[in-house]
Chains A and B, each alone.
Chain A
Amino acid sequence: MEIDPLIFRLSIFVLSIFVGYYVVWSVTPSLHTPLMAVTNAISSVIIVGAIVAASGFNIESGFELSNIFGLTAIVLAAINIFGGFLVTQRMLQMYKKKKRK
């Protein structure tokens, strides 16, 4: 009997939870706020679904409901991606070692 691909995805999922567990515990507490900002940004990789949803239309019949949902989701996810990464970068810049005179 062939193994359902769902099982493979489930394996990836479970192992990633463990990876996440150990990686996040190693994050220094002083960087917990940037951690939240960056997790926000990366969870917006959901944009890949939104792009597929927005792309599947043809010019003649115009926009369907699913395209409009897709385009809206792209806007929302893009706010998160740009906002999340940039605000993380901005915070991390503040943690640079300062040379004191």
Chain B
Amino acid sequence: MTPNIAASLYLISGVLFILALRGLSSPEISRKGNFFGILGMILAIAVTFFSVDIFSNGFIFIMCALLTGGAIGAFVAYRISMTAMPQLVAGFHSLVGLAAVLVALSVFYNPEAFELGEVNNIKIGSLIEMSIGASIGAITFTGSIIAFLKLQGLMSGSPITFKGQHLINLLIGVGIVFLIFYITKEQSNFLFLLLIIASFLIGILLIIPIGGADMPVVISMLNSYSGWAAAGIGFTLENTALIITGALVGSSGAILSYIMCKGMNRSFFSVILGGFGGTDLSSLEKNKNRKPVKSGNAEDAAFLMKNASSVIIVPGYGMAVAQAQHVLREMVDILKKNEVKVSYAIHPVAGRMPGHMNVLLAEANVPYDEVYELENINNDFSNTDVAFVIGANDVTNPVAKTDPQSPIYGMPILDVEKSKSVLFVKRSLSPGYAGIDNELFYRDNTLMLFGDAKKMTEEIVKSLN
């Protein structure tokens, strides 16, 4: 295959990837989009097979590697639970990062295979491109591993901070720039490995100070990094498909980070600096002298909802942890039979990653046209009879609108307090992720339903029947 034909076909596969993302603009055409993505990938791999003469030597090894990886990937994809999706995506990011590092390394050790010069005499431009690709790839790799460990609960979600942290990060960052500069002067293996090790290190240091609450931003950010790493390698290999994809993924991740930051009213910079998510003890102390809360049982809740004409469900990550989504849908089905209008309200940061809650509801067979984003449903609370909050907390806290001192001040919240009555399913009065008390618990129109989200919903279903 001539290089010109190969390059044109790579371009086509890049266009197919654009169509794959375009398909996600609506659920109806999304499966077709995914098919385009798969087609693009098959095309890219096939073109590579034909343009390097590998059928003579080593084809068998490559197929073995491909099938081994494919089998592992397919196995994981079918077994993973939807609750664990954030961890899975973080894990996938780490693999993209490491793959970028490995490809850069093999270019560095064997540039002849890529027609990029000889060992110790690689073109300066290619050197800079692959150093940047390798460095971002390495940061993505270790950063995603830390994110994975935090999301999986193998590592505490609370931020790890120490004195001089930002200074150390800055020094390593400057060091990386210098290393890239010296690599262009003197192409030594030692310097290249040092660059990768320094990048591994900064990947860890960048993510450990970021608390559990900010994980949606972190995953999106690492998504973006994995794209830039791929683009860097794409420049090195002079491969259009890789450059287009890298740019797409890079901007996609950046947009998602922006949306997540806005959903929490946090600046991207303050997320990166970390340290958010510890418990604010002072506000807890203050609330100890508050008036008692009203608490009810499943029968009260069932009675209220059965006699309501409209109910809005506000699910949060707690619902997913308790695996209450299926029984929740059962409850909604009964309510609908009783002529109650039910819809779901989703906060942008309701899950642990962008759009996580929507997937969890879809898994429980909730039709997606009953699920509304914050800006589309927030005005409806004022003429709703019952808001049913299950597993959510901070995203309903009115303090975000009233108290400039609060760490979540300015965050867009769901106006559940405007509905006639609020049902709050929660284990205890403990604060949420942001570590602040929710004044909603103490309002007159709030009824607390203490208990496990799943058990409580099951009891409500029983009482409804």
What residues of chain A have their CB less than 8 Å away from a CB belonging to chain B? 5-6, 9, 12-14, 16-17, 19-21, 23-59, 64-67, 69-98
Contact of A39 among B13, B21, B26 (CB under 8 A): B21
B219 nearest CB neighbor, chain A only: A36
Mask, B51-84, CB within 8 Å of A = 1, is 0111001110110011111111110111010100
> Given the complex, which residues of B lie within 8 Å of A89, measured CB to CB?
31, 34
Total A-B Cβ pairs within 8 A: 374
Interface pair A45/B17, CB less than 8 Å apart: yes
Prevailing SS type, chain A contact patch:
helix
Can you pick out 28 interface pairs between chain A and chain B where the beta carbons lie within 8 Å of each other? A12-B243, A16-B18, A17-B251, A27-B21, A27-B25, A28-B26, A34-B24, A35-B24, A35-B252, A35-B256, A36-B89, A36-B220, A36-B253, A38-B21, A39-B223, A42-B17, A46-B230, A48-B241, A51-B45, A54-B61, A70-B102, A71-B61, A74-B69, A75-B65, A75-B72, A76-B69, A82-B69, A92-B27
A97–B365 Cα distance when bound, in Å, is: 9
A95–B200 Cα distance when bound, in Å, is: 38
> Given the complex, which residues of A lie within 8 Å of B236, measured CB to CB?
49
Residues B111-126 near A (CB distance < 8 A):
112-114, 125
B64 nearest CB neighbor, chain A only: A71
Interface pair A66/B113, CB less than 8 Å apart: yes
B98 at the interface (CB under 8 A from A): yes
Nearest Cβ on chain B to A29's Cβ, whole angstroms: 5
Nearest Cβ on chain A to B178's Cβ, whole angstroms: 23
> Given the complex, which residues of A lie within 8 Å of B74, measured CB to CB?
82-83, 86
Interface pair A34/B30, CB less than 8 Å apart: yes
B239 nearest CB neighbor, chain A only: A48
A43–B252 Cα distance when bound, in Å, is: 11
A82–B69 Cα distance when bound, in Å, is: 8
Interface residues on B, range: 35 or more
Interface pair B227/A55, CB less than 8 Å apart: no
B249 at the interface (CB under 8 A from A): yes
Interface pair A79/B95, CB less than 8 Å apart: yes
A26–B54 Cα distance when bound, in Å, is: 41
B88 at the interface (CB under 8 A from A): yes
Contact of B235 among A9, A23, A54, A96 (CB under 8 A): A9
Nearest Cβ on chain A to B50's Cβ, whole angstroms: 11
Interface pair B354/A43, CB less than 8 Å apart: no
Mask, B19-59, CB within 8 Å of A = 1, is 01110111110110110011011001101110011100111
A82–B34 Cα distance when bound, in Å, is: 12
Asked, given contacts A39-B248, A82-B69, A95-B362, whether A50 binds B76 with beta carbons under 8 Å apart, the answer is no
Nearest Cβ on chain B to A60's Cβ, whole angstroms: 10
